Amino acid sequence: MIKKILSVIILFSGNFANAQIQLPYNRMIQPAGIQIYFGDYALENHALDAALSPDGKWLAVEERYSIVFISTSDNKVKYILKNNTHPRIGRGMNTYSGIIWRKGTEIPEVFWSTSADLGRCYVASATWNGTEARFSGIIEFKPVPPAKLSLPNEILIVKDEGTEYLYTVLNGNNQVV
Q: Is the pLDDT of residue 145 over 50?
A: yes
- Between 70 and 46, name the one with better pLDDT: 70
Q: Is residue 118 part of a domain?
A: yes
Would you state the pLDDT for residue 12? 52
Q: Is the pLDDT of residue 177 over 50?
A: yes
Indicate the pLDDT class of residue 144, thresholds 50, 70 and 90: very high
Which of 130, 153, 138, 144 is closest to 53 using CA atoms?
A: 130
Pairing outcome for strands 133-141 and 163-170: unpaired
Q: Is residue 5 part of a domain?
A: no
Q: Is residue 119 part of a domain?
A: yes
Would you state the pLDDT for residue 37? 82
Q: Is the pLDDT of residue 66 over 90?
A: yes
Q: Is residue 3 part of a domain?
A: no
Which of 160, 50, 26, 44 is closest to 98 using CA atoms?
A: 50
pLDDT average, residue stretch 7-35: 68
Would you state the pLDDT for residue 18? 63
Q: Is residue 41 part of a domain?
A: no
pTM: 0.84
Q: Is residue 28 part of a domain?
A: no
pLDDT average, residue stretch 80-93: 88
pLDDT average, residue stretch 85-114: 89
109-130 pLDDT, tens digit each: 999 999 887 788 999 999 999 9
Say which CATH number the domain at 109 has.
2.130.10.10
Would you state the pLDDT for residue 91? 78
CA angle 169, 175, 177 (to 5 degrees): 65
**For 83, phi and psi rounded to 5 degrees?**
-55, -35
Q: Is residue 18 part of a domain?
A: no
Output 64-73 pairs: Cβ under 8 A, ≥24 positions apart: 64/7, 64/39, 64/93, 64/94, 65/40, 65/92, 65/93, 65/94, 66/39, 66/94, 67/94, 67/99, 67/110, 67/112, 67/126, 67/133, 68/7, 68/38, 69/128, 69/133, 70/9, 70/11, 70/36, 72/11
Q: Is residue 9 part of a domain?
A: no
Residue span of the structural domain in which 65 resides: 48-176
Q: How many domains does the chain have?
A: 1
pLDDT average, residue stretch 118-143: 94
Helices then strands, counting H and E runs in the chain, come out as 0, 15
Indicate the pLDDT class of residue 5, thresholds 50, 70 and 90: very low
